């Protein structure tokens, strides 16, 4: 079912999973009973690089685990009820967090509910699995990632190479939408998306893409808007029933597979992700999404942005102040907790 392939970047491949080696990896999903958590758990059960899957939620995880465990792949699956968080985290190397509420309005509206959920989960990770790699899906990502980092730092176990905001859905959308305009396969139209994960903080670098660089004028403006506000399309279409879940599960599984490939020693695994980054530290922005090489230690190398077009410079001007505010809000929440 899954093809083996030579090392190559995540953004240049269309297959969901790719593997070059086998190594024992225990992965936990916190929020496994939710709209993202359930399909994500199924996809991770299908990933040959996952050998053990630990599913936790305050509601319904044992049922999801029993269901997913019948899938005929090698990994073992265990489900944990609300009071079993510590057990769920034991021996885990990779923790994926889609726990929390989805939005009705803006992602920032979620802050009040999700900030404490993410902080408490990070605190348990710091206690039970302090060297785990933590992949944050819960919104607002621009704030929840600093919350995880600050919580782990408070516990004295923060390793910046091991905390990631999952921005892969922006990358997936950018490739899909650009390919639609260019009339090519999305696999031929990888787009680097940088910045953060909400509206104006999402900056697609179309000028660096073979099929994106020729898109100009109104078509360009509409494409950028669609990439930045793709989440709104889904929220609107679901009409009160939540936000993107299936495409996010796909994106979450894709990023997890990329990290597992890196942890396995595969070289050249490069994809955008929101991490502690030197790129805009001089402007007081400590977290930023850009192309990152993933390796045995998690973050191996943060790539420079490369040449930006005049339009992208303008997008970046709008991105940076908003991103800075979002990051500060996350940090301040942990400081005052």
Ligand X SMILES: NC(=O)C1=CN([C@@H]2O[C@H](COP(=O)(O)OP(=O)(O)OC[C@H]3O[C@@H](n4cnc5c(N)ncnc54)[C@H](O)[C@@H]3O)[C@@H](O)[C@H]2O)C=CC1
Dihedral of the alpha carbons of 188, 194, 197, 198, in degrees to the nearest 10 = -100
Least separation in angstroms between residue 190's CB and ligand X is 18
Tell whether residue 37 is among the known ligand binding residues: yes
The one of ligand OAA, ligand X, none whose footprint includes residue 235, by CB under 5 to 8 A per kind, is ligand OAA
Which of ligand X, ligand OAA, none does 33 bind, CB closer than 5 to 8 A by kind? ligand X
Q: Least distance in Å: CB of 176 to ligand X? A: 14
Positions that interact with ligand X (CB under 6 A): 30-31, 33-37, 56-59, 98-103, 110, 114, 117, 121, 137-139, 141, 166, 169, 197, 242-245, 248
**Alpha carbon distance 103, 150 (integer Å):** 24
Residue 101's binding partner, choosing from ligand X, ligand OAA, none, with beta-carbon cut-off 5 to 8 A by kind?
Answer: ligand X
Partner in contact with 35, chosen from ligand X, ligand OAA, none, beta carbon below 5 to 8 Å by kind: ligand X
How big, in percent rounded to 5, are the helix, strand and coil portions of the chain? 45, 15, 35
Three-state SS at 131: coil
> Would you call 131 exposed, middle or buried from its count of C-beta atoms within 10 A (0-12, 13-18, 19+)?
exposed
Q: Confirm whether residue 298 is marked as ligand binding.
A: no
Tell me how far, at minimum, the Cβ of 37 lies from ligand OAA, in Å: 14
Angle, CA 99 vertex, CA 96 and CA 104 arms, to 5°: 130
Task: Tell me 316's DSSP state.
Answer: H
User: Could you tell which of ligand X, ligand OAA, none binds residue 31, using a CB distance below 5 to 8 A set by kind?
Assistant: ligand X
Q: Which two tokens stand for residue 68?
A: 């997913």
How would DSSP label each residue in 63-109?
Answer: HHHHHHTTSSSS-EEEEE-GGGHHHHHTT-SEEEE--SPPPSS-GGG
14 is in an annotated binding site: no
Q: What are phi and psi of 54, to 5 degrees?
A: -115, 110
- Backbone angles phi and psi of 290, in degrees to 5: -160, 175
CB of 235 to ligand OAA, least distance (A): 5
For tokens 């060297």, the residue is: 131
To the nearest 10°, the Cα dihedral for 324, 329, 335, 337?
Answer: -160
The binder of 62, among ligand X, ligand OAA, none, by C-beta within 5 to 8 A per type, is none
Contacts of 262 (CB under 8 A, 6+ apart): 269, 293, 294, 295, 296, 298, 300
Is residue 211 part of the annotated active site? The answer reads no
**Is residue 77 within 8 Å of residue 231, measured between CB atoms?**
no
Q: Of 19 and 144, which CB lies nearer to ligand X in the complex structure? A: 144
Positions that interact with ligand OAA (CB under 6 A): 103, 107, 139, 169, 231, 234-235, 243-244
CB of 251 to ligand OAA, least distance (A): 9
Beta strands 94-97 and 26-30: pairing type? parallel
- Choose, from 197, 211, 225, 303, the residue flagged as catalytic: 197
Give the three-state DSSP class for 293: strand
Q: Minimum Å distance from CB 261 to ligand X?
A: 20
Q: Is 32 annotated as a binding residue?
A: yes
Question: In the complex with ligand X, which residue's Cβ is closer, 48 or 252?
Answer: 252
Angle between helices 168-182 and 217-228 (to 10 degrees): 150
Pick out the residues of the known binding site for NAD(+): 31-37, 57, 114, 137-139, 248
Q: Which residues are catalytic?
A: 197
């Amino acid at each position: 079912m899954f093809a083996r392939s030579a090392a190559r970047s995540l953004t240049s491949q269309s297959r969901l999973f790719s593997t070059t080696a086998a190594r024992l990896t225990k992965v936990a999903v916190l929020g496994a009973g939710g709209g993202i958590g359930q399909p994500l758990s199924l996809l991770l059960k299908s990933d040959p690089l996952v050998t053990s899957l630990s599913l936790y939620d305050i509601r319904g995880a044992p049922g999801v685990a029993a269901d997913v465990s019948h899938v005929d792949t090698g990994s073992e699956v265990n489900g944990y009820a609300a009071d079993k968080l510590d057990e769920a985290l034991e021996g885990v190397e990779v923790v994926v967090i889609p726990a929390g509420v989805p939005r009705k309005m803006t992602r920032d509206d979620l802050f009040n509910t999700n900030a404490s959920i993410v902080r408490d989960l990070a605190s348990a990770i710091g206690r039970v699995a302090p060297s785990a790699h933590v992949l944050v899906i819960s919104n607002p990502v621009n704030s929840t990632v600093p919350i995880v980092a600050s919580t782990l730092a408070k516990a004295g176990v923060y390793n910046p190479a091991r905390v990631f905001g999952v921005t892969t859905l922006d990358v997936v959308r950018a490739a899909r939408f650009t390919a639609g305009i260019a009339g090519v396969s999305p696999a031929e139209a990888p787009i680097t998306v940088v910045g953060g994960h909400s509206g104006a903080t999402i900056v697609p670098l179309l000028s660096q893409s073979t099929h994106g660089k020729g898109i100009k004028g109104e078509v360009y403006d509409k494409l950028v808007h669609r990439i930045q506000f793709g989440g709104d399309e889904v929220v609107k279409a679901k009409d009160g029933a939540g936000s993107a879940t299936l495409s996010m599960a796909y994106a979450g599984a894709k990023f997890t597979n990329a990290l597992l490939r890196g942890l396995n020693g595969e070289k050249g695994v490069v994809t955008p992700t929101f991490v502690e980054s030197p790129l805009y530290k001089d402007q007081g922005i400590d977290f930023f999404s850009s192309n990152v090489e993933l390796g045995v230690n998690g973050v191996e190398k943060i790539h420079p942005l490369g040449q930006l077009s005049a339009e992208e410079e303008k997008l970046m001007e709008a991105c940076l102040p908003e991103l800075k505010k979002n990051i500060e809000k996350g940090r301040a929440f942990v400081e005052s907790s």
